[in-house]
Structure 1
Amino acid sequence: MLERSKRSSAPEAPRFLITGSFGFPNGAGATARVRSYALGLLRGGCRVAVVPLMVAAPGSVLADTAADGEWRGIRYCYAGGSVVGPAGFLRRRWCEVRGLQYLLRMIRDAVRSNGLDAVILYGPELRWIVPLRMICTRYRVLLVHDRSEYPFVYDPPGGVLRRAYRAWYMSSVFRLFDGVVVISKLLERTLAPRMRCGSWLLRVPIMVDADQFTSAEPPTRGLIGYAGNVGHMDEIEDLVLAVASLVDEVPDVHLLVIGTGSHRQVTELRAMIERHGMTERVDLKVAVPADEMPALLCSAEALALPRRVGLFSEAGMPTKLGEYLATGRPVVVTRTGDISEYLTDGLDAYLVEAADVAEFAAALRLALTESASAAVGVRGREVAFREFDPAAQMRRLIQRVCAAESGNAHE
């Protein structure tokens, strides 16, 4: 699978394998980040293969995805041989075990044939980290971890044992990696003291292939777009309420929700929309393939990203923000985490304080009706090209990997 990019003849370009808990090429935020990794590395002349370890439960809402294939020049295959696993939790876990065995053999064979320089792991699961650390040590392959969320941010408090496990994980597990890539300053500050001596930490923000988000078609008048996991019900409900408050002032306002999630979550979302009397003004599309996403987002006149205040929003940075900006449409987003480091209110986006539905609605009104909003969208697109280009960001990762292999990990 590890074919070299045809764009570069540099024989020394590193070879990467990306694996972990995500779907590919279709999926949610994790998938979008992995796609950006792969595209950026490919354009840097690297060999890259993607091997998802995820096994979805039967009945999951998924876009059509083959278990192996090629997407935009990137070879991928599901380690378990199937996108959807068998019925039953234990049977799916066994399928994951078999997939992990396949992945370990793939790493061994890659080292023995064309070579392999680094494995990038997306996902926090200890059952994958330990065996990958062992085989990477055995074959002198770098093990790199991508951390885009604060550890255990969605976990319930738990009892004494659970708290003890979290404390042990935070103090020990990050020392197993040769390098860690984080998405925010908060994660950088949190994980830096937990790394072992000689390893490295690199902050890489969201990435987007902005060239894909262009359209010659004019946007649909009054259409507000949103993309994300439908499990974030509170954020979507804030958006629905904001849009509902605009109906009298902007009669043609309506909302497009492009979502991923389980059948149960989709059903609950539909019920929430109906409860607020917005069924006729909200169009819900689920499991949209990656190649169809740019056109859908470009069809909106404005794009919205409401976020609640919390550790998850302060430590993370949603990949869809980069996609929104790349469309050139005005973006309304809550001011959380590192977002204000890249965007300025009224200049290249409309920034709103968290948990204020009325203020969010006011910003949406400006994005839809203000004559200056078109220029705001254009400047937002410039930010996407300047700050979030996958090739530019992955050049930094390639340099770190090359430095680590030459013994200069902190260059």
Structure 2
Amino acid sequence: MPNNLIILSESSSFPWGMAASNRVRNLAKVLLKENWDVEYAGLRGADIPKDKKTKFSSIGKIDNIPFIYPGGFTVRSNSWWFRRIDDILGFFGIFIFFIFKKIKRKVECVIIYSRSTNVVKFWSHFLHLLNIPVILELCEWPLAIAETSGKGHKNASHFCEDVVPLVDAVLPISSYISHEVYRISLKKNVYIPSFQIPILIDNVYHTSRDSNFSSDKFLLYCGSIAYMDIAKIVVDIIYELKKRNIHIPIKFTGREDNARITELKLYAKNRGVLSLFEFTGFLDENDLFNLMRKATCLLAPLPENLQSQSRFPTKIGYYLASGTPILTNAVGDVKHYLKDKINAFIVENCDSRQFAAKIETILNDQELSKNVGLFGKDLAFEKFHYRCACLGLGEFLRQVVQNYRNS
């Protein structure tokens, strides 16, 4: 009989979100193949724009993965009051949901996808009361974020040093986080089993880049406008290209945020490059992936700080899988996989002038660019496809459950 696992999150917005939602989907897919039944439970409504084309349901199934939002809210409201109601109903709904699953013996373990101290701490204690082991998915390391931003250090330290040791295993996305978990385990004198899972992709690219290739050259950056430091680096790159008399447009995707977009537009206007920017807003997966395939180059500048060292952006996997050449810099796990002019274009530092020089190379040597894109695509499916990157995860979780029951 299959084992039963529930993925619990307040932030991944499965199945309608992007990076976090895709990661949940890919983790679930590999576990389904390794004889686990997987269900997603949302603590609150999905934090995504609500459009009229999408049918939102609080209970459903996609890719053979059942999902439920027990609070009844499928999409997070803009109203403060409705958000609080969503939080309350979601909390009690999940509470009842787990008790029901335990009574029916339909849950062997739970993966929590969150970096909220309160979420991980409370639900770890509650699930342990039900004799259910907890595995924590770690896609970011709060202490690295706090060190980079200069704020929130106390809460980040509490999460990393006090909350992480409460769980029964972790699934870190990067080598940096793996090392930090090991450091915490030594400091707290507690064993924390770890199974590192890099960025994950699936079979999203069924057509080759050539069949969708556009003769119109443009750069593409896919990312959140919330990372304003990166957004401004993108503007600086376009400015440096302009100084080289290269006037290539750039499409900037991501969820609309009027205040931040206004700030970025002003920055681009002062640099004299606003006319080269097109802000597409939030795109569904198919439109986004098609845009990746048609682009001349995909930008992924990563600031040289602890947050970048600890992260491993999911978009790099999908960038690579598109067959379009990716341009990024050597920081964190990126440098372990990507090699300059072989499967990606890499600059040594996150410097707009270095990025501009590489883009000039990409534009002037189309044969090299095409080959780099193809080798990048090969790398993506060899190293980051969920069937390869997660092999053994199901057995690891079975061992965690067995060890928990024997302890």
CA distance in 1, matches of 2:262, 2:45: 22
CA distance in 1, matches of 2:17, 2:266: 24
Output the aligned Cα RMSD: 2.7
Q: Pick from 213, 233, 242: which aligns with 1:238?
A: 233
Contact conserved, 2:70 with 2:93, CA < 8 A, in 1? yes
Which region of structure 1 is more displaced relative to structure 2, 23-32 or 138-147? Answer: 23-32
Distance change >3 Å, CA 274–CA 33, structure 1 → 2:
farther
Q: Does 1:344 align with 2:334?
A: no
State the one-letter code of the partner of 1:306: P
State the one-letter code of the partner of 1:392: C
Q: Does 1:377 align with 2:373?
A: yes
3-state SS, counterpart of residue 202 of structure 1: coil
CA distance in 2, matches of 1:56, 1:336: 31
Distance change >3 Å, CA 336–CA 14, structure 1 → 2:
same
Distance change >3 Å, CA 166–CA 223, structure 1 → 2:
closer
CA distance in 1, matches of 2:245, 2:28: 41
Q: CA deviation at 1:291?
A: 3.7
Contiguous gaps of at least 5 residues in structure 1: 1-10
Q: Does 1:85 align with 2:77?
A: yes
3-state SS, counterpart of residue 16 of structure 1: strand
3-state SS, counterpart of residue 16 of structure 2: coil
**1:182-201 maps to which residues of 2 (within 5 A)?**
182-195=172-185, 197-201=190-194
CA distance in 2, matches of 1:269, 1:62: 24
Distance change >3 Å, CA 166–CA 230, structure 1 → 2:
closer
3-state SS, counterpart of residue 373 of structure 1: helix
CA distance in 2, matches of 1:103, 1:390: 28
Q: CA deviation at 1:107?
A: 2.0
CA distance in 2, matches of 1:180, 1:299: 37
Q: CA deviation at 1:385?
A: 0.6
Match of 1:171 in 2: 161
Render the CA deviation track for 1:128-157: whole Å, top value 9, x for unaligned.
Answer: 223322332233322111111121444464
Contact conserved, 1:331 with 1:367, CA < 8 A, in 2? no
3-state SS, counterpart of residue 278 of structure 2: strand
Distance change >3 Å, CA 294–CA 43, structure 1 → 2:
farther
Distance change >3 Å, CA 286–CA 380, structure 1 → 2:
same
TM-score, length basis structure 2:
0.86
3-state SS, counterpart of residue 390 of structure 2: helix
CA distance in 2, matches of 1:72, 1:157: 41
State the one-letter code of the partner of 2:399: A
In the alignment of these two chains, the number of paired residues is 393
3-state SS, counterpart of residue 120 of structure 2: helix
Which region of structure 1 is more displaced relative to structure 2, 64-73 or 236-245? Answer: 64-73
CA distance in 2, matches of 1:367, 1:118: 48
Q: CA deviation at 1:386?
A: 0.9
Render the CA deviation track for 1:104-133: whole Å, top value 9, x for unaligned.
Answer: 222222233361122111112232223322
Match of 2:9 in 1: 19
**1:103-122 maps to which residues of 2 (within 5 A)?**
103-113=94-104, 115-122=106-113
Render the CA deviation track for 1:9-40: whole Å, top value 9, x for unaligned.
Answer: xx334433342322223335333322332333
CA distance in 2, matches of 1:407, 1:142: 9
**1:286-325 maps to which residues of 2 (within 5 A)?**
286-325=281-320
Q: Does 1:355 align with 2:350?
A: yes
CA distance in 2, matches of 1:278, 1:223: 14
Distance change >3 Å, CA 262–CA 280, structure 1 → 2:
closer
Render the CA deviation track for 1:197-218: whole Å, top value 9, x for unaligned.
Answer: 4531121111111443644311
- State the structure with bigger RCO (CA 8 A, min sep 6), 1 or 2: 1
Contact conserved, 1:213 with 1:323, CA < 8 A, in 2? no
Contiguous gaps of at least 5 residues in structure 2: none
3-state SS, counterpart of residue 206 of structure 1: coil
CA distance in 2, matches of 1:65, 1:341: 41
Match of 1:133 in 2: 124
Contact conserved, 2:35 with 2:394, CA < 8 A, in 1? no
Bigger helix share: 2
Match of 1:40 in 2: 30
Match of 2:330 in 1: 335
**1:132-151 maps to which residues of 2 (within 5 A)?**
132-151=123-142
